[in-house]
A = this chain, B = another copy of it.
């Protein structure tokens, strides 16, 4: 440590402590129970090991050892989930000491159990998604490759896990999970979105799917697509009102190509619609339509004869 700071250490410390005293929202001193992001990321990875055995985690599974592997993973996940859900519940309710620790713990244990009982169903849903990716992407050589390598499939896996937790009533954790996937893949799916079966996101980078989006079955979207909000009604203090449907509805069998932006809670993209790349849509589109920009009026000028 350098001398300069050493001499000033007391003063620097006082300055920073007084800055903490001034504002209670950017510090959590005397607050317990903040969930741990690294532990929650670990829960995502353990759940993935349970969902796709042999792909992630233990690689040498056999018909003989798989039962022990699953039992062991369930034990570990159950403990970790209960602990972190407990912290999420406490954080949600306020940051001081917990007044009914037993009830919180029991609620958390119940939610963890409910989640683990849904693993089989999530597997079924993710198999259909993997199949959709394989069918829809000429670059996919096998379904294994999709499960093991595709970032869009990873983002979707984390979304489906986070969405189940949200449905079960777990606060905070679902968003921490999807933000982890967002950071890893560039694909930001809010855990509150409702997404049907056989969903495929190609390339994934830059995709944003907002909290109140509804997506039907067999929908396919490409990189850079935003399903977002158009504008926000504000309260008398000028702050946006929370809780309304702000994001679009995408019906079955829709394809949305790269970098299209679709906005608004009342915007409905009808069944079977194809949306071209780079389009910008804020109104509903009837079923079985093809949406493009008016003939792509590009200007192509020669750079050779500048006159």
Contact = CB atoms under 8 A, between A and B. Distances in A.
Interface in A257-288: 257-259, 261, 263, 272, 274, 276-282, 285-286, 288
A151 interface: yes
A197 interface: no
A293 interface: yes
A300 B296 contact: no
Given A66-B20, A259-B226, A13 B71 contact: yes
Given A26-B127, A26-B147, A280-B278, A138 B246 contact: yes
Interface range, A side = 35 or more
A28 B261 CA distance: 38
Given A188-B223, A261-B278, A293 B286 contact: no
Contacts of A172: 145, 149
Given A25-B127, A50-B16, A144-B91, A280 B293 contact: yes
28 contacts: A1-B76, A1-B79, A2-B108, A2-B113, A4-B110, A8-B113, A16-B74, A16-B120, A27-B52, A27-B55, A28-B53, A28-B61, A30-B62, A34-B55, A138-B229, A139-B210, A145-B175, A183-B184, A186-B206, A188-B223, A206-B224, A222-B226, A272-B303, A274-B303, A286-B300, A292-B298, A294-B299, A295-B299
Which 4 A-B pairs give the minimum distances between C-beta atoms? A28-B54, A2-B109, A19-B120, A5-B78
